[in-house]
Amino acid sequence: MAKKIVITSGKGGVGKTTITANLGAMISDMGYRVALIDIDFGLNNLDVVMGLNNYVTYDMCDVFEGRCRIKQALIKDVKHNNLYLMPSDKMKSASMVSGQNVKLLLEGLNSFFDYIFLDCPAGIDVGFHRAVACAESAIVVLTPNMSSIRDADKVVSILKSYKLDKINLILNRARGDLMLREQMITPKDAENILKTELIGVLPEEDDVFLSCGYCLPKKSQSYKAYKLLAGNIVGAKKGLFDVTDRYTGFLGSIRRSIKKGL
Ligand SMILES: Nc1ncnc2c1ncn2[C@@H]1O[C@H](COP(=O)(O)OP(=O)(O)OP(=O)(O)O)[C@@H](O)[C@H]1O
Ligand SMILES: [Mg+2]
3-state SS, one letter per residue, for 43-69: CCCHHHHCCCHHHCCCCHHHHHCCCCC
What is the rounded average pLDDT for all residues in the chain?
92
pLDDT in tens, 65-110: 899 999 999 999 999 999 999 999 877 666 678 888 999 999 999 9
pLDDT in tens, 176-220: 999 999 999 999 999 999 999 999 999 999 888 777 778 888 999
CB 76 within 8 A of CB 124: no
CB 109 within 8 A of CB 1: no
User: Can you give the pLDDT at residue 214?
Assistant: 83
DSSP codes, 145-196? SHHHHHHHHHHHHHHTTS--SEEEEEEEEE-HHHHHTT-S--HHHHHHHHTS
pLDDT at 9 over 70: yes
pLDDT at 7 over 90: yes
pLDDT in tens, 37-55: 999 888 889 999 999 999 9
Q: Which mutation among 208, 210, 216, 224 tests ligand 1's pocket best, with the greatest number of atoms within 8 A of CB?
A: 208
Could you give the angle at the alpha carbon of 207 between the alpha carbons of 201 and 209, nearest 5°? 95
Q: How much of the chain exceeds pLDDT 70, in percent?
A: 98
Residue with CA at minimum distance from ligand 1 atom 29:
209
Enter the DSSP assignment of 95. G
Kindly state the average pLDDT of the residues 142-159: 96
pLDDT class for 145, splitting at 50, 70, 90?
Answer: very high
Which ligand 1 atom sits closest to the C-alpha of 121? 27
pLDDT at 260 over 80: no
Tell me the C-alpha to C-alpha distance, in Å, between residue 239 and each of 43, 201, 205. Answer: 33, 10, 20
**Under DSSP, is residue 21 helix (H, G, I), strand (E, B) or coil?**
helix
Check if CATH label 1.10.3720.10 holds for domain 3-261.
no
User: Cα 217 from chain centroid?
Assistant: 18
Could you give the angle at the alpha carbon of 7 between the alpha carbons of 154 and 237, nearest 5°? 105
Pairing of strands 83-86, 75-76: antiparallel
Q: Which residues line ligand 1 (CB under 6 A)?
A: 9, 12-18, 40, 122, 172-173, 202, 204-205, 208-209, 213
Q: Which residues contact 121 (CB under 8 A, 6 or more apart)?
A: 39, 40, 41, 43, 94, 127, 128, 131
CB 36 within 8 A of CB 119: yes
pLDDT class for 262, splitting at 50, 70, 90?
Answer: low
pLDDT at 257 over 90: no
pLDDT class for 261, splitting at 50, 70, 90?
Answer: low
Report the C-alpha gap between 251 and 85 in whole angstroms.
41
Residue with CA at minimum distance from ligand 1 atom 12:
15
Enter the DSSP assignment of 110. G
User: Can you give the pLDDT at residue 93?
Assistant: 66
pLDDT at 4 over 80: yes
User: Can you give the pLDDT at residue 246?
Assistant: 86
CB 80 within 8 A of CB 25: yes
User: Cα 127 from chain centroid?
Assistant: 16
Q: Which long-range CB contacts under 8 A does 144-147 form with residues at least 24 apart?
A: 144/171, 144/173, 144/174, 144/175, 144/184, 144/185, 144/190, 145/185, 147/11
User: Can you give the pLDDT at residue 95?
Assistant: 67
Report the C-alpha gap between 205 and 197 in whole angstroms.
23
